[in-house]
Amino acid sequence: MAKLLKMGAQGPEVRRLTKLLQDHGFHNHVGDVFDREVRRAVEAFQARNLDSRGRPLVVDGKVGELTWWALERVDGEHPPLPEVATAASEVPSGGSAPGRAALAAALAEMRDGAREIGTNNDGPFVEKYLRGIVPPPANWCAGFVSWCFSQAPGGIPFRYSLGARDIRNQFQREGWLYDPEQQQPQPGDVIFWWRGQPEGWMGHIGLVHHAEHGIVFTVEGNKGGFPAPVRQFDYVLGRIDKLLGFGRVP
């Protein structure tokens, strides 16, 4: 995971950054301090360059993995990032044992075609994830994640819940939340979003498949219109809308 640099940083990584900016024609000298002039150069570079999959870089003046990737290109060429397979059958290396087991269960459900059937938020898959706590139709993203962890050896390591915010609160009490700027998301980690209001009760939740070069790949249920399947999504770290954070069951 490349080191995130922002204004105020100092040292050899800033020297490397300013040298790359100079090589690309966006800065006129090499230095060890990330000051306002360097930030303006970074923003100018980001405004004119794309990430590893041809999407515009976010212009925030911070140098994360995608901006590093663009800066380190040689003559505009760089090997493409690996994509998550449409029907991935294996759990990548890394992460905790319970998380990896939950992710394996999620991938198996995806291969089995888990989705809503009949009407929105309904059907046998949804009923299984709701586990009799409430009858369908009902939102089921947290039930899906809870069910996946319940398939881990030894059982679910937190209280089975149909609330994304409730699961996040449980993770917070256990000290399982972490800052993605400090730790790379790993297979089987949990990703949390808010819905409605940042401090409200509604939320969304999914499982991390893997993260690489500033992009996090997930497996989620109950996202999108009917018949919402269990499927894979991908997001640029640092540009994830309504993100509440990440957690890892030890």
Find the mean pLDDT for residues 46-69: 86
41 near 27, Cβ under 8 Å? yes
Instruction: Summarize pLDDT for 21-47 with one digit per residue, the tens.
Output: 999 889 999 999 999 999 999 998 998
Per-residue confidence (pLDDT) for residue 73, from 0 to 100: 79
Q: Which amino acid is at 223?
A: K
| Higher pLDDT among residues 212 and 221, named by residue | 221
- Rounded mean pLDDT of 157-182? 96
Q: Supply the mean pLDDT for the chain.
A: 90
How many percent of the chain have pLDDT more than 70?
93
Nearest to 207 by CA among 158, 248, 153: 248
Give me the mean pLDDT over the 107-119 stretch: 96
**How confident is the model at residue 77, as a pLDDT?**
52
Domain spans in the chain, listed from the N-terminal domain onward: 12-71, 97-247
Q: Which single residue is written with the structure tokens 């400090």?
A: 182
| Helix 97-111 vs helix 141-150: crossing angle, to nearest 10 | 120
If phi > 0 it is left, if psi is from -120 to 50 it is alpha, else beta; for residue 76 that is left
Q: What is the pLDDT of residue 74?
A: 59
pLDDT value at 1 more than 60:
no
pLDDT class of 114 with cuts at 50, 70, 90: very high
Give the phi and the psi of residue 57 in degrees, each rounded to 5. -65, 145
Of 24-33, 157-166, 233-242, the range with the lowest mean pLDDT is 233-242
pLDDT top residue among 50 and 208: 208
| Length of the chain in terms of residues written | 250
Under the banding of pLDDT at 50, 70 and 90, the label for residue 89 is: low
pLDDT for 238 beyond 80: no
Lowest average pLDDT, out of 1-5, 86-90, 115-119, 158-162, goes to 86-90
> Rounded to an integer, what distance in angstroms lies between the CA atom of residue 53 and that of residue 28?
29
Q: Which band of pLDDT confidence, cut at 50, 70 and 90, is reported for residue 83?
A: very low
Interval 81-98 mean pLDDT: 69
Task: Say which CATH class 97-247 falls into.
Answer: alpha beta
Q: What is the dihedral of CA 88, 244, 185, 78, to 10 degrees?
A: 80
- Residue by residue, what is the 3-state secondary structure of the chain? CCCCECCCCECHHHHHHHHHHHHCCCCCCCCCECCHHHHHHHHHHHHCCECCCCCECCCCCCECHHHHHHHCCECCECCCCCCCCCCCCCCCCCCCHHHHHHHHHHHHHHHCCCECCCCCCCCHHHHHHHCCCCCCCCCCHHHHHHHHHHCCCCCCCCCCCCCHHHHHHHHHHHCCEECCCCCCCCCCCEEEEECCCCCCCCEEEEEEEEEECCEEEEEECCCCCCCCECEEEEEECCCCCCEEEEECCC
Cβ-proximal residues to 63 (8 Å cutoff; 6+ apart), any chain? 4, 5, 6, 17, 42, 71
Question: Is the pLDDT confidence value at 107 over 90?
Answer: yes
Tokens linked to 218: 């997930």
The pLDDT confidence band at residue 239, using thresholds 50, 70 and 90, is confident
Amino acid at 231: R
Is a pLDDT exceeding 80 seen at residue 199? yes
Q: What are residue 10's DSSP bridge partners? A: 33
How confident is the model over 234-248, as a mean pLDDT? Answer: 90
Confidence of residue 17 (pLDDT cuts 50, 70, 90): very high
